[in-house]
Structure 1
Amino acid sequence: MTACGSWESGSVRIGHSLNKKEEKFVARRRKKIQKSLKKLNITCSDETEVPNIALLGSGGGARAMVGLLGSLDQLKEAGLLDCVLYLSGVSGSTWCMASLYQEPDWSTKLETVKNKIVQRLSGSAVSWGDAYDKLMKYLDQKLSDPKEISLTDLWAAMVITFVKEIDEHTLSDQRDKLSKDPFPIYTAIDKQYKQNNDADPWFEFTPYEAGYSLTGAFVETSNFGSKFKNGRKIKDQPEMDMLYLQALCGSALADGDANNKFLWEQIKAYSGYKGLLDSLDGCALPLMYLLRERFSHSFSPSTDVDLQNLWIWGRNYNFLYGMKDKAVPAALMKSKMRDYIDAGVLLNSPYFSVLREERDIDLIISLDFSEDDPFETVREAAKMCKKRKIPFPEVNIPDDKNKPKDFYVFKGRNTPTVIHIPLFNEVNCGGEVGIKKWWDTYMTFRVTPYKPKEITDLMEVAGQNIKNNKDNLLEQIRLATEKKQL
Structure 2
Amino acid sequence: MSASKLQESGEVRIAHSLHMNEEEFVARRRETVFQSMQKLKIHCSKDEVPNIALLGSGGGQRAMVGLLGSLVQLDKAGLLDCVLYLSGVSGSTWCMASLYQEPDWSTKLETVKDQIIERLSGPGVSWGDAFAKLKKYHKKDFFSLTDVWAAIAITTYVKEIDELTLTDQWDHLSKDPFPIYTVIDKQCKKEKEKGGDKEDPWFEISPLEAGYSLTGAFVETSSFGSKFENGSKKKPQDEMDMLYLQALCGSALADRGEIFKFLWEIIKDLFEDLTPVIESDTFEEMRKEPKAPPAYKCYQVLIDLVEVNLAVLNGKDPSALVQTIKTTLEELGGGKNHLIIPGEKSTLAEKQAAKFDVKKFTEHVIKDLSCLFSSDSFDLVLSICKCMTQWIWGRNYNFLHKMKNETVPPGLLKSETRDYIDAGLLLNSPYFSVLREERDIDLIISLDFSEGDPFMTVKKTQKLCEELNIPFPEVILKEKAKNPKDFYVFKGKNAPTVIHIPLFNVVNCGENIEAWRNKYDTIQGSYSRKKITDLMDIAGKNISNNREKLLEQIQAVIDQKRHK
For the residues of structure 2 that align with 1:15 and 1:121, how far apart are their CA atoms?
40
Matching residue of 2:237: 237
**1:275 corresponds to:** 273
- The answer on 1:42 being equivalent to 2:36 is no
**Shift in Å, 1:400:** 2.2
Q: Offset of 1:399 from its aligned partner?
A: 2.9
Name the count of aligned residue pairs.
469
Counterpart code for 1:453: K
Contact 1:132 1:276 in 2 (8 A): no
**Residue-by-residue CA offset, 1:350-383 (whole Å, 9 max, x unaligned):** 0000000000000000000001101000000000
Is the aligned partner of 1:341 residue 2:340?
no
| TM-score scaled by length of structure 2 | 0.79
- Deviation, structure 1 residue 421: 0.3
In the TM superposition, 1:134-153 aligns within 5 A as 134-140=133-139, 142=140, 145=141, 148-153=142-147
1:58-457 to 2 correspondences below 5 Å = 58-140=57-139, 142=140, 145=141, 148-157=142-151, 158-197=153-192, 198=197, 199-265=199-265, 268=268, 271=269, 274-275=272-273, 292=306, 298=322, 300-301=365-366, 302=368, 310-431=390-511, 434-446=512-524, 448-457=525-534
CA offsets, 1:224-267, max 9 Å, x none? 00000000000010000000000000000011332212333455
Letter in 2 for 1:164: K
Corresponding residue number in structure 1 for 2:342: none
- Partners of 2:400 and 2:256 in 1: how far apart? 27
CA distance in structure 2 between the aligned counterparts of 1:279 and 1:397, rounded to whole angstroms: 57
SS in structure 1 of the partner of residue 447 of structure 2: strand
Shift of 1:307: 6.6
| Shift of residue 190, structure 1, vs aligned partner | 0.2
Separation in structure 2 between the aligned mates of residue 79 and residue 96 of structure 1, nearest angstrom:
20
Q: What SS does structure 1 have at the residue aligned with 2:508?
A: helix
Q: CA deviation at 1:272?
A: 6.0
CA shift, 1:484, in A, is 1.3
TM-score norm. by structure 1 comes to 0.92
Q: Which whole-Å CA distance do the structure 2 matches of 1:77 and 1:217 have between them? A: 38
Contact 2:401–2:412 (8 Å) recurs in 1:
yes
Deviation at 1:174, TM superposition (A): 1.7
Contact 2:254–2:421 (CA<8 Å) still a contact in 1?
yes
CA distance in 2 between counterparts of 1:182 and 1:176 reads: 14
The 2-side partners of 1:118 and 1:460 are apart by: 13
Deviation at 1:89, TM superposition (A): 0.2
| Distance in 2 (alpha carbons) for counterparts of 1:295 and 1:89 | 34
Matches within 5 A, 1:473-484: 473-484=550-561
Q: For the Cα contact (< 8 Å) 2:252–2:421, is it kept in 1?
A: yes
Identify if the C-alpha distance between structure 1 residues 387 and 155 changes in structure 2 by more than 3 Å, giving closer, same or farther. same
What SS does the corresponding residue of 1:427 show, helix, strand or coil?
coil
Change in 2 beyond 3 A, CA 1:278/1:459: farther
> Residue type matched to 1:181 in 2?
D
1:3 is matched with none
Which structure 2 segments of 5+ residues have no match? Answer: 1-5, 283-297, 313-321, 323-361, 372-382
Alpha carbons of structure 1 residues 280 and 99: separation in structure 2 relative to 1, 3 Å: farther
Task: Please state how far the C-alpha of 1:49 moved relative to its aligned partner.
Answer: 0.8
**Residue in structure 1 matched with residue 547 of structure 2 by the alignment:** 470
**Does the CA-based 8 Å contact 2:56-2:92 persist in structure 1?**
yes
Larger Rg belongs to = 2
Name the CA distance, whole Å, in 2 between partners of 1:276 and 1:475: 58
Relative distance call for 1:135 and 1:417 in structure 2 (3 A) is same
1:280 offset after TM fit, Å? Answer: 8.6
Distance 1:113 1:440 in 2: 28
Kept in 1, the 8 Å contact 2:144–2:387? The answer is no
* 3-state secondary structure, aligned to 2:138: helix
1:156 corresponds to which letter in structure 2? A
Secondary structure in structure 2 of the residue aligned to 1:428: coil
Q: Structure 1: 5+ residue runs without aligned partners?
A: 1-5
RMSD: 2.4
Q: Percent identity?
A: 65
For 2:27, give the aligned amino acid.
Answer: A
- The 1:274–1:457 alpha-carbon spacing in structure 2 relative to 1, beyond 3 Å, is farther
Cα distance change on mapping 1:464 and 1:307 into 2, 3 Å: closer
Distance 2:473 2:202 in 1: 20
Q: Deviations over 1:366-421 (max 9, x none)?
A: 00000110100000000000100000000112232111100000000110000000
Q: Give the SS at the match of 1:400.
A: coil
Tell me the CA shift for residue 275 of structure 1.
Answer: 1.6
